[in-house]
Chains A and B, each alone.
Chain A
Amino acid sequence: MEGEKVRQYFCKIIKEDEDVSVGVAAIRTLLEIIKHSKSETVQELEANLKDAISQMKNSNYTVAAINSGCELFLRFITLASLDTRDFDECKKIMMDRGHLFIKKLDDSRGKIVKLASNFIGDGSRILTHSRSRVVLQTLRKAHKQNKRFEVFVTISAPDNIGTRMCKDLEAEGIPCTLILDSAIGYIMEQVDFIMVGTEGVVESGGIVNKVGTNTMAVCAKEINKPFYVLTESFKFSRLFPLDQQDLPEEYKYTSEVRKSCDLRKIHPLVDYTPPSYITLLFTDLGILTPSAVSDELIKLYL
């Protein structure tokens, strides 16, 4: 499996299964590569994987989750010490580890939902941004627990994915209001807290998410509303943006845009929310403060 085929497989996973996030899809793709790989040595396999990763990054999905997921995969499935000398056996071990890894990832969302749904009380008014699968599931869970609450969803330009989020919620029977991105400041005083998903969590404890999240966080801080982030721990990445400018371009723009246009005139897809605006992060590792993210990352990678 090479080049274009990798990308196609990757895109197929995302299209087929609505509930799969980009990061998990990337990891599944890598596993598939190991399965079909004809390479004879670990080094060769690794080179194959790295090649595949760069292919996936060039597809039109946001890079943050792909990056962190693949990095974690390489660290714990292929780079971790292999005791046996036989390559086929090695491959088998990697596959086993990979499946275990995927299973853990699938479980992680359930853990987060369990943690976060407790924070939704009767009569809560929740503001959310963009469309996040984990936030959606949390709200569903809370609704099933017969909690009565109201949700405000931003349209989230440029792809207006908020409208879909709103439909999903209404289908569940959760009262839901679609608001303009520019109405964040207006609605802020009416809500009790903010709940957002994220594409990537960086080392500072801040998050990289759909553009507009930073605006929301700054507003929330000013009006003293808690700002909660729901995220799987595989989205933690070893990146430390100092400010918006410092965020790598591959995060901000899709590969197509990067190639063709003058970037100064293009809207970025994501922005960086500094840790000081975030109240708590709900992860499968537990409920963390932003400063604990870096602690977890140090534990993982050092």
Chain B
Amino acid sequence: MDKKKEPLKKEKVAEDGLTKKERRALKVQVKKTEIQNVIQVNETIVENKPNPEKEKQKQNVSHKTNDTPNDPPVSGKLLSDKELRKLEWEKKLTDQKTKELESVKALSKAELKAKRREQQESQRSAKTSSKVEPTPTKTPSVNIKQSKTEPKKSPVQKQIIRKTIPIQRVQLVQHLYIDNSSESNDKNSILHNKVHPAFVRLGTQYSNKNVLGSNARCLALLAALKQLVDNLQTPPKQEFCRYLETVLKSCTNYLQNCRPLAVSMINALRNFNLQLTQIDTNLNDNEKRIKLQDVIDIYINDDIRKAGEAISMRVREKISDGDVILTYGCSSLIRKILLEAHKDEKKFEVIIVDSRPLLEGKEMLRRLVVAGIKCSYVLINALSYVMNSVTKVILGAHALLTNGYVMSRIGTAQVALLARAYNKPVLVCCETYKFSERVQTDSFVYNEIGDADLLRTTHTSETESPLSKTKDMNKLMPLNLLYDVTPPDLVTAVVTEIAILPCTSVPVVLRIHADEST
């Protein structure tokens, strides 16, 4: 503030016709005279300070007397530097006052107003200029992001949308929203950070939901990881594995921003990082590369492929002739199990339950029908209608949590609950690499939010959805959660590659895995 005021002051000083030097000279004079009329001065102080209006009357009084009230009664003694400065400052204040008074005298009211406005404006412009400057750097980034997604909109419209987003957030799951601004920043940072192109592609595939399902996502991640290991060139004076670690970290951060990592991916990455630390440092880069790729291949083969086969075998034993099997959505593992059971010449029917907005079950239906399995297809609202005729419910899982809860695509808990109510056995198929140490008892603590706009459209009718024009309505807050958790008492058994287990055995399996890896 002081800095801004000073230039103004100088101007005024110029108006007065007094420079600093002149004033100082004046001051010295004043002090000399002061000694003579201390008493007079003290009187004027009393008169002056309480009501400044009187000053107006005293305008005729000479400069000297007008200045005097500011001088403290120390007069007569030698003035120290400090006191001098204090005096000076006080004088400035009074100067301002007198100048105002003088200007009142000189200028009409209108002129005064104009002047004030001028001052204010100049102040304002000074303030804003310091803040405005960074904005031009920001706007291009916004524009870039926009041109990628929706090239038609102008930056102005974009700003409006950005403002409305936080209003449309559902309070209960406020913490689950990914911050848009940080996302855009990170997207720009791809160029600067060492994110491998394979991961960039993977990121867009994740965010566009081209790669769906925790198995598929994990496999895609491991494929990208293999590519990264293959292409990575260590900069001089750096160890291959340590460098890979840092690069991988930035890559996973990028992926995390595209879409939160699945539990399967987190576990796969953890396994890889563990192997990375255990690798023999005496090997050269190429050997390390080969070894790491082997590690990935073994993981894909043992923990994902063979586990899937083992599970398929176990479930096949449980499927008997005449069974009616209900499944929900599209899980790659369940599809595999059903197809193999069919190849095994088991005679069973399948009811595929599906739900909006993704309607993944259609793909499941297509594949099973092509294979020649007798299928029915219902939406989740018709579940209670078909549940009576079902003999077994087989579900896929996104993750199994330590407390035995099953995390899976949203709607699974509902299916399990209804199956429980109808007393049908519920089998959850899940490889042990999807077991997680996390504990969760509801779906809100941790979840993922999908595109809420999908809820506003309809796939079924040709007429436009009544919700399609509600996008800018602040009071309508559609919420598209992707996962839910199913409590263990709704699940009869979990089929893993190790054994068929009750849900409550998850911590034991995790403990065994931890023992094996250390």
Residues of A participating in the B interface, judged by any CB pair closer than 8 Å: 203-205, 238, 240, 242-243, 245-246, 275-276, 291, 294-295, 297-299, 301-302
Contacts and interface: CB of A to CB of B under 8 A. Distances in A.
Interface residues of B, number: 18
Given A246-B318, A276-B489, A204 B512 contact: no
Nearest to A205: B502
Given A203-B500, A298-B499, A302-B498, A242 B505 contact: no
Interface string B482-518: 0000000100110000111110110011001000000
Interface centre among A203, A204, A240, A297 (most CB of B within 10 A): A240
Nearest to A246: B318
Interface string B317-347: 0101000000000000000000000000000
Top 3 A-B residue pairs of the complex, sorted by shortest distance between their CB atoms:
A291-B504, A240-B500, A242-B425
B508 A298 contact: yes
Contacts of B508: 294-295, 298-299
Contacts of A291: 502, 504-505
B392 interface: yes
B501 A203 contact: yes
A72 to B, nearest CB: 16
Contacts of A246: 318, 320, 425
Contacts of B501: 203, 240, 294, 298
Given A294-B505, A295-B508, A242 B318 contact: yes
B353 interface: no
A51 B392 CA distance: 35
A298 B427 CA distance: 19
B425 A294 contact: no
Given A291-B504, A295-B508, A302-B512, A242 B498 contact: no
A246 B392 CA distance: 11
A77 B235 CA distance: 56
Contact of A294 (B427, B489, B502): B502
Given A298-B509, A298-B512, A238 B502 contact: no
Contacts of B505: 291, 294-295, 298
B462 to A, nearest CB: 44
A297 B501 CA distance: 10
A122 B493 CA distance: 40
B509 A242 contact: no
Given A238-B499, A246-B425, 6 more contacts: A240-B501, A242-B492, A291-B504, A294-B502, A298-B508, A302-B499
A275 B488 CA distance: 13
A301 B493 CA distance: 18
B514 to A, nearest CB: 13
Given A242-B492, A246-B318, A298-B512, A204 B498 contact: no
A294 B392 contact: no
A240 B425 contact: no
A294 B504 contact: yes
A294 B504 CA distance: 8
Contacts of A299: 508
Contacts of A245: 320
A157 to B, nearest CB: 26
A275 B491 CA distance: 12
B435 to A, nearest CB: 13
B497 to A, nearest CB: 11
21 contacts: A203-B499, A203-B500, A204-B492, A240-B501, A242-B425, A242-B427, A245-B320, A246-B318, A246-B320, A276-B489, A291-B504, A291-B505, A294-B501, A295-B505, A298-B498, A298-B508, A298-B509, A298-B512, A299-B508, A301-B499, A302-B498
Contacts of A205: 502
A276 B420 CA distance: 13
Contacts of B427: 242
A301 B501 CA distance: 13
Contacts of B502: 203-205, 275, 291, 294
A242 B499 CA distance: 14
Nearest to B500: A240
B319 to A, nearest CB: 10
A243 B420 CA distance: 13
A107 to B, nearest CB: 26
A250 to B, nearest CB: 14
A235 B512 CA distance: 23
Contacts of A275: 502
A245 B500 CA distance: 17
A275 B498 CA distance: 21
A243 B425 contact: yes
Contacts of A238: 499
A273 to B, nearest CB: 14
A243 B393 CA distance: 13
Contacts of A204: 492-493, 502
A44 B364 CA distance: 48
Nearest to B493: A240
A240 to B, nearest CB: 4
A110 to B, nearest CB: 28
B300 to A, nearest CB: 22
Interface string B391-410: 01000000000000000000
A275 B492 CA distance: 10
Nearest to B425: A242
A278 B508 CA distance: 21
B471 to A, nearest CB: 47
Nearest to A296: B508
Contacts of A243: 425
Contacts of B498: 298, 302
Interface centre among B427, B508, B509 (most CB of A within 10 A): B508
A240 B496 CA distance: 12
Nearest to A299: B508
Nearest to B404: A291
Contacts of B509: 298
Contact of B493 (A242, A295, A297, A298): A242
Contacts of A203: 499-502
Contacts of B504: 291, 294
Nearest to A242: B425
Contacts of A301: 499
Contacts of A295: 505, 508
A205 B492 CA distance: 11
